[in-house]
Amino acid sequence: MDLMSKIISLCKRRGFVFPSSEIYGGLESSYDFGPLGVEMKNNIKKTWWSEMTKFQNPPAGGIVGLDAAILMNPEIWQASGHLAAGFADELVECKNCHKRFKADEIKQKVCPDCQGKLTKPRKFNLMMKTFIGSVETEASTTYLRAETCQGIYVNFLNVLNSMRLKIPFGVAQIGKAFRNEITPKDFIYRTREFEQMEFQWFCYPKEAKKYFDYWKKERIKWYLNLGIKKQNLRIKEVPAVERAHYARQQIDIEYKFPFGWQEIEGVHNRGDFDLSNHAKYSGKDLRYYDEDPPAGGKEKYFPYIIETSAGADRSLFAFLCDAYQEVKGGRTKTTKATKEIEILLKLDKRITPIKVAVLPLVRNKLKLVKKAKEVYRLLKAHFVCQYDELGSIGRRYRRQDEVGTLWCITIDFDTLKDDTVTVRDRDTMKQEREKTVDLIEVLNKNLK
C-alpha cells in the first residue's frame, strides 16, 4: 500500500475522517470528520486562533476576531470579482458524454473517457449558487461564500469603529467556504466544502511590502513550530500570470504531500482591490482618515490588505502525513512478532486528538477496572481522554501510538496498594510512576 492509501485507511479505521453519506453510496469529495478528526481539527483551529489573536507581536497594531455569515448579499461577489471571469476555471466539455475537464490539465484533443470530441475551452464559475426564500428566481439567488475574507472586508468600518482601532490592525476569522471545484481530488486536499483560517492585515499602502514579509515569515514559523519537517515545506513565489485576480504579490506555502508539492496556504498582498471595489459597489466611503500616517501630515486612503489564507482541512492532512511513521520490528517491548510494523503518529502535543489513555493492566480483575474507571473519570474533565481495556497491554499501547496519544496511564496491582500509576510517554516510551492525586498537575506540566 502506498503512503496515501495508508493514511486514508488509518483515518477511516481510527475515526479521523469518514467518507460523507457513506451508507447512501457517498457524495463525491465530501468528508466527515470523525471523533478524533474533530478533536484534531479543533486543536488546529484553536492553535491558529491563539497564534494570530494572542501571541503575535507585529511591529504595530492590534488584532481582533470576527465570525461573519456564510450567506451574504450577492452584490458582494460582484464587487469581489468572484462572479466575473476572474474566479473561473477554463473547461472543455465532451460533446458525447458531456463530462467536463480542466483545459490546462488535459493533454489530448479528445475526451479521456469516451474519446468523444471536445468543445473549445469555456470559463466555468466556481461559486456555489443557492436560493433564499421559497421562490427560485434570480431575485432570490445568492451564493455560499467562496472565501471567508469578504465578510471581513465588508465589516471593515464596523470593526474599526466598534473597537476604536487604528491602522495597522488585523482581523482573524475561521469558517467554511464552498467552491464548485471541477476536479476535487486527493482525499481532503481539494473538496467542495472546506474550512479556511484567514487573517487580514489592514495597513498603510507604503508599508504593505514590509508587512507582507513579516506575515510570510510568521506563517512559515507556525507550521515548523507545530512539527512540520523543514524539508517538507517550501515557498513558491507566484509569478504575475499565475496570481489570484486580486493579488499584487503572492507566495504559496507548499507541503510535500504523498502526491507531490501542493499549496496549503497563500499569503497575498491584495492592495486596495477589495476596499476600493466594495466602496464603488456599495456607495460607502471605505477610506481611512489617518491623522498620523508614517509619511506625516494627514491622509485619506484605502488601506492595503495583507492576507494569510490557510486551509484547516489541508493543514490537518499535512500534519497527518508529516507525523505518520512506521516502526519496523515494533517499538514496544511487549511486541512478540518482531516482523510487525507499528504505526506511530508523532503529532505535536497541541494538535494531537487524544492526550491521555487510561488502561487497566488486565480487564478481568474487577478492582483494577474499578480503579481505572475512577482515574478516567478524574482525568476526562481536564484532558481529551480515552479508556481502553480490550486486548493485551502491548496491543493497547500500539493502538494509542497509532493515533498519537501522548500518555498512557496504566493501572496495575501496585496502584491498589499505593495509589500510584505508570505514565508512559509516547515519544520516549519511558514509564514513570506517579501518584494518582498528582496526575492532573503532572500532565498539565507536560502539556505546557
Which residues of this protein are in contact with ligand ATP, per CB under 6 A?
A: 147, 179, 181, 190-191, 194, 196, 263-266, 309-311, 313-314
Nearest residue to 153 via CA among 77, 87, 208: 77
CB 68 within 8 A of CB 176: no
Q: Which is nearer to ligand ATP, 272 or 313 (CB)?
A: 313
CB 402 within 8 A of CB 349: no
Amino acid at 375: V
CB of 238 vs ligand ATP, minimal distance in Å: 9
CB of 184 vs ligand ATP, minimal distance in Å: 7
Q: Which is nearer to ligand ATP, 255 or 397 (CB)?
A: 255
φ, ψ for residue 75, nearest 5 deg: -60, -25
Q: What is the dihedral of CA 192, 193, 195, 199, to 10 degrees?
A: 60
CB of 219 vs ligand ATP, minimal distance in Å: 11
**SS3 assignment for 13-36:** HCCCEEECCHHHCCCCCCEEECHH
β-bridge pairing 17-19 and 62-65: unpaired
Nearest residue to 326 via CA among 223, 226, 395, 398: 398
Kindly list the distances between the CA atom of residue 39 and the CA atoms of 35, 45, 66, 344, 351, in Å, as whole numbers in the listed order.
7, 10, 22, 18, 8
Max intra-chain CA distance, the chain? 80
Q: Which is nearer to ligand ATP, 303 or 311 (CB)?
A: 311
Name the DSSP class of 121.
P
Q: Which is nearer to ligand ATP, 179 or 398 (CB)?
A: 179
Would you state the cell numbers that stand for residue 64, as one nine-digit string?
481582533
CB of 360 vs ligand ATP, minimal distance in Å: 41
Kindly list the distances between the CA atom of residue 267 and the CA atoms of 67, 233, 277, in Å, as whole numbers in the listed order.
21, 15, 20
Would you state the cell numbers that stand for residue 264, as one nine-digit string?
496549503
CB of 276 vs ligand ATP, minimal distance in Å: 20
Q: Which is nearer to ligand ATP, 42 or 180 (CB)?
A: 180
CB of 416 vs ligand ATP, minimal distance in Å: 50
CB of 126 vs ligand ATP, minimal distance in Å: 9
Q: Which is nearer to ligand ATP, 82 or 426 (CB)?
A: 82
Inter-axis angle of helices 439-447 and 366-380, to 10 degrees?
A: 50
Cα gap 88→82, rounded to integer Å:
8
Which residue is closest to ligand ATP by CB?
A: 311
Q: Which is nearer to ligand ATP, 175 or 360 (CB)?
A: 175
Would you state the cell numbers that stand for residue 227, as one nine-digit string?
512539527
Q: Which is nearer to ligand ATP, 51 or 265 (CB)?
A: 265
CB of 264 vs ligand ATP, minimal distance in Å: 5
CB of 424 vs ligand ATP, minimal distance in Å: 35
Q: Which is nearer to ligand ATP, 147 or 342 (CB)?
A: 147
